[in-house]
Amino acid sequence: MDHQAQAALLFLLGATVLHAGLTDLHLRYVKAGLRPLLLLSGAVLIATAAATVRYTRRRGPRTREAHREPRVSWLLTLPLFALILVAPPALGSYSATHTGTALREPLGYPELPERGPLRLGVGEYAARAVYDHGRHLRDRPIGITGFVALDGAGTPYLVRMGLNCCAADAQPVKIALTGAVPPVLRPDTWLEVTGRYTPRRTEDPVNDGPVPYFEVTRAVPVPVPQDPYDEAWSG
């Protein structure tokens, strides 16, 4: 692999990173807040590729021949094509049922509207239900969206994987479902559940962490959201 081939590889990698940052593809890998860094990284890679081409042309053909690398270095293109051609699915029920809840007490809670239905994330509902004892949730209609996971005993959970940085550190936060739960549930099905807070709790079978219940009055299947991950509520 000579300098020109290295420059081409850098350009392709930079263009792929830019494409991921400019589309929703990056949400499969990192949290939304890291998008500016992805765009900057892609731009730097493309600029480096351009600088490499200019350097090679300035030094002439002898430099290109003197700096050839082993052919095995072309294997570096395999992760690049994997990134281009294969978008991995978001982590789902398998990871959730084999990993204990990551719920930890947060430093604070966002203000909630005083009236009307509440739209909460899985992590926010779980944190408020466990550590704030449902103070601002009682007697309020609540809507939550997440995917279904079933433990070994068939207990249904509504789950969202939370990110601190990227998919590699994703951990689940779980809500146990009770009430008008659909009689047949498939793991990894996304549901929008409507219902109310209940003080009932259980323990995660993996790490004995706290898992609050949610009393369902209505459950509707929904498409996978644009961003399948949640902001981490892990303290």
The mean per-residue pLDDT over the stretch 10-17 comes to 76
Q: What is the pLDDT of residue 79?
A: 65
Q: What is the pLDDT of residue 127?
A: 95
> Which of residues 226 and 4 earns the better pLDDT score?
226
69 pLDDT band, cuts 50/70/90, is low
- Residues 187-221: pLDDT tens digits? 999 999 999 999 999 999 999 999 999 999 999 99
- Taking the C-alpha atoms of residue 84 and residue 50, their distance in angstroms, rounded to an integer, is 21
Q: What is the pLDDT of residue 235?
A: 43
pLDDT over 90 for what percent of the chain? Answer: 37
For 76-85, 148-157, 207-216, which range has the lowest pLDDT when averaged over its residues? 76-85
pLDDT over 70 for what percent of the chain? Answer: 76
Please name which of 130, 123, 128 lies closest in space to residue 111, comparing C-alpha atoms: 128
Q: What is the pLDDT of residue 11?
A: 76
Q: What is the pLDDT of residue 229?
A: 79
- Residues 93-126: pLDDT tens digits? 888 898 899 998 888 888 898 888 999 999 999 9
- Taking the C-alpha atoms of residue 108 and residue 93, their distance in angstroms, rounded to an integer, is 28
The secondary structure of the chain as a DSSP string is: --HHHHHHHHHHHHHHHHHHHHSGGGGGTB-GGGHHHHHHHHHHHHHHHHHHHHHHHHH-HHHHHHT---GGGGGGHHHHHHHHH--PPPP-HHHHHTS-------S------SSS-EEE-HHHHHHHHHHSTTTTTTT--EEEEEEEEE-TT--EEEEEEEESSBGGG-EEEEEEEEES--SS--TT-EEEEEEEEEEEEEE-TTT--EEEEEEEEEEEE-PPPSS--EE----
| Residue boundaries of the structural domains of the chain | 3-85, 93-231
Distances (CA, A) of 195 to 8, 137, 177, 192, 222: 55, 11, 10, 10, 16
| CATH code of the domain occupying 93-231 | 2.40.50
